[in-house]
Amino acid sequence: MQMPIKSTTVLAVAHNGSVAIGADGQATIGNTVAKNNVRKIRKLQEGRVIAGFAGSTADAFTLLERFEEKLSAYGGNMKRAAIELAKDWRTDRFLRRLEAMMITISKSEILIISGTGDVLEPDNQVAAIGSGAMYAQSAALALKKHAPHLSAQEIVRESLTIAADICIYTNHNFTIETL
């Protein structure tokens, strides 16, 4: 059974014609901050797809490599690649032990991919994973509704700031990418 991811915050938002994804930079080992500037956002497919991860870094890199292979195999079709990765992740003896989650974005889609076989398209075009996920998601939903003039990137930055102010596993060192 996969453990819930309890460190970091990754948030993706589609708003006003753009999609942004961001993550904080904190890596923890137990209750100790091990590093504060980890890049948890990766560009794939020459920047056409961007992925963010929460969980074990080594596990996430393994999954990112497999996801990029699937993207290549399926002609850049993000949804198909995600479904195939989720199938492998759930059934492969090695992969099913990996403890991580991912959010992937393209210009037209946001997906959450987990080791339990889930490939989810979030409601309201907001997706969040990690320990600060609910804080960031709540903030993003409120900003989309009450500050519609903000860009997707501005919503991600402000929402991650709110999560970092509340969640001890999330810091204010953000990486944000936009499509």
Does position 178 have pLDDT exceeding 70, yes or no? yes
CATH superfamily of 9-54+102-112+119-178: Aminohydrolase, N-terminal nucleophile (Ntn) domain (3.60.20.10)
- Which residue stretches of the chain are H helix? 57-73, 78-91, 133-146, 152-166
Whole-angstrom distance, CA of residue 16 vs CA of residue 4? 32
Widest CA span in the chain? 47
Determine whether 8 is an active site residue. yes
Q: What was the pLDDT predicted at 6?
A: 58
Q: Residue ranges of the domains in the chain?
A: 9-54+102-112+119-178
Does position 53 have pLDDT exceeding 80, yes or no? yes
Reported as half-sphere exposure (CB side, CA atoms, 13 A), residue 78 has a value of 23
Average pLDDT rounded to a whole number, residues 42-59:
93
Average pLDDT rounded to a whole number, residues 89-114:
90
Query: Per residue in 115-172, pLDDT tens?
Result: 888 999 999 999 999 999 999 999 999 999 999 999 999 999 999 999 999 999 999 9
Q: What's the pTM value of the predicted model, to 2 decimals? A: 0.94
Average pLDDT rounded to a whole number, residues 4-26:
90
Q: What was the pLDDT predicted at 148?
A: 96
Find the catalytic residue in 8, 9, 28, 170: 8
Average pLDDT rounded to a whole number, residues 81-92:
92
Fill in the DSSP letter of residue 155: H
